[in-house]
């Protein structure tokens, strides 16, 4: 059971906009910033969004992050087949003082 | 170019030990916070340990007392000594460089390719 809650799956068609939610609590998302990672099968995750909304260099602006209260969201606009991957949210949890992750969302491009 | 290359994974029996290595290049290890993150087969990500630039080390509850993180500054290499291994420690172990700790939620901006540890009899 992951500390942060994500839907196990999401889907969309090419060109569509999809959102992936990440729900937490006061001790993690409520008090701290949220990061997002993208992982393709058989490869290491890569940082996609940090500090709620920031994109590392090389990440297309089709990817955006937001946070409100104890929830966060990753939005992907202009969906492409290459976006098919697993997406994980993460945040610092001031209770146990550790980084906690969501269980991951598998995005399928139909 | 920043690179992290893990090695040392393999098959080990329950109760056994293993030492993972992570060779860093393109940056100075001792000036950064470095973590280990693991992923059990078909499962999500789990933070395992961190070694601060100043040398302090922290661990997740599931490995505390069994795993020890260290580094060799002369070799720019990070290690994870894993003792008293359990079947539930079976996972791909990633070496990651951290940023933001103490200011924002730590984020992992560089990842190694991972090394698989299998604990089984």
DSSP A5: B
Mean pLDDT of B87-93: 98
Average pLDDT rounded to a whole number, residues A91-107? 95
SS3 A53: coil
**Is there a contact between A44 and B106 if contact means CB atoms under 8 Å apart?**
no
**What's the rounded mean pLDDT across residues B95-120?**
94
Residue B37 Cα, gap to closest chain A Cα (Å): 10
Residues of A with Cβ-Cβ distance to B40 under 8 angstroms: none
Model confidence band, residue A4 (pLDDT cutoffs 50, 70, 90)? very high
pLDDT digits (tens, 9 = 90+) for A6-20: 999 999 999 999 999
Q: In this model, does residue B101 exceed pLDDT 90?
A: no
Query: Considering chain A, what is the average pLDDT of its residues?
Result: 96
**pLDDT at residue A1, rounded to an integer:** 84
Nearest-5° Cα angle at B36, B102 to A46? 85
Amino acid A38: pLDDT: 98
Nearest to B24 by CA among B118, B109, B81, B92: B109
| Whole-number pLDDT of residue B33 | 96
**Quick check: A51 and B100 CB within 8 A?**
yes
Please give the Cα distance from A62 to A14 (Å, whole number): 13
Strand partners, B40: none
Give B104's pLDDT tier (boundaries 50, 70, 90). Answer: confident
Structure token digits, residue B77? 């290499």
What values do phi and psi take at B83, rounded to 5?
-115, 165
Task: List, for residues A34-55, the tens digit of each pLDDT value.
Answer: 999 999 999 999 999 999 999 9
CB contact at 8 A, B70 and B81: yes
For residue A95, the model assigns a pLDDT of 84
Two tokens at A60? 């297309």
A81 pLDDT exceeds 90?
A: yes
Cβ contact B111–A96 (<8 Å)? no
Q: Which residue of A has its CA nearest to B92?
A: A44
In terms of phi and psi (left: phi > 0; alpha: psi -120 to 50; beta: otherwise), the region of B55 is left
Q: What pLDDT sits at residue B8?
A: 97
Residue B103's pLDDT band (cuts 50, 70, 90): confident
Q: What is the mean pLDDT of residues B56-76?
A: 97
């Amino acid at each position: 059971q992951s500390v942060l809650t994500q839907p196990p799956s999401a889907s969309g068609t090419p060109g569509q906009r999809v959102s992936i939610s990440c729900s937490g609590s006061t001790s993690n998302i409520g008090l701290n910033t949220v990061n997002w990672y993208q992982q393709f099968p058989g490869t290491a995750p890569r940082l996609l969004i940090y500090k709620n909304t920031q994109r590392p260099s090389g990440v297309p602006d089709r990817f955006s992050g937001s946070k409100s209260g104890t929830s966060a969201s990753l939005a992907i606009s202009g969906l492409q087949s290459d976006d098919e991957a697993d997406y994980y949210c993460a945040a610092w949890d001031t209770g146990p003082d550790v980084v906690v992750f969501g269980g991951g969302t598998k995005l399928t491009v139909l | 170019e920043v690179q992290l290359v893990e090695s040392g994974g393999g098959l080990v029996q329950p109760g056994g030990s293993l030492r993972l290595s992570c060779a860093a290049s393109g940056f100075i290890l001792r000036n950064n916070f470095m973590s280990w993150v693991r992923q059990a087969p078909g499962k999500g990500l789990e933070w395992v340990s961190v070694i601060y630039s100043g040398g302090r080390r922290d661990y997740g509850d599931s490995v505390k007392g069994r795993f020890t993180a260290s580094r060799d500054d002369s070799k720019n290499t990070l290690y994870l000594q894993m003792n008293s291994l359990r079947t539930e420690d079976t996972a791909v172990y990633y070496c990651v460089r951290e940023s933001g700790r103490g200011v924002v939620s730590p984020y992992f901006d560089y990842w190694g390719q991972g090394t698989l540890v299998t604990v089984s009899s």
